[in-house]
Amino acid sequence: MEEMQTVNEYAISKAGLEDLQEILNLQYLAYQSEAAVLDNKDIPPLKQTLDKVIGEYHKGIILKMVDAGGLIIGSIRAWEMKDTVHVGKLMVHPDYRHHGYGTKLLGEIEKYFSQKRYELFTSTLSIDNIRLYQRKGYREFDRRSIGDTLDFVYMEKVIG
């Protein structure tokens, strides 16, 4: 699966260590909208360090979506634990949203694992994210309160 998957004029492939700073920069940009929805700039994706991203890189897979000019415009991460693939940090550059690129990234990460259960979470206020995950076959299985004002919805996709 190392080959590049072309998405219109974009390509999806595994990220390398040399891509992680650019992906972290994209993360800081992409998660501004989530922070605005939550009215909270103190969310974990905006505080993550390069060392933590490197740790996630070694723990699982990070994919990147690159435009024709070589700019990373999207990314997603996943890792296996027991019989579950944990999917996280699906992000698309704000200028490229609402064109199906998040859907393409989510579909692509699933190809890297032979597991039959995928799990992810998002804020209950992130309606667009929840809709995307539902379109891709994910269903809510849990909700958890994180502090006084933040609730997460946990979603899973079971194949077979």
Is pLDDT larger for residue 9 or for residue 52? Answer: 52
What is the reported pLDDT for 1?
46
What is the reported pLDDT for 37?
84
Q: For 38-48, what is each residue's pLDDT tens digit?
A: 888 888 888 99
What is the reported pLDDT for 8?
62
CA-to-CA distance for 101 and 117, rounded, in angstroms? 22
Residue 116 has pLDDT above 90, yes or no: no
Residue 157 has pLDDT above 90, yes or no: yes
pTM equals 0.90
Mean pLDDT of the chain: 91
Percent of the chain predicted with pLDDT > 90: 76
Q: State the average pLDDT over residues 109-138.
A: 93
Measuring CA to CA, which residue among 81, 99, 129 is closest to residue 9? 99
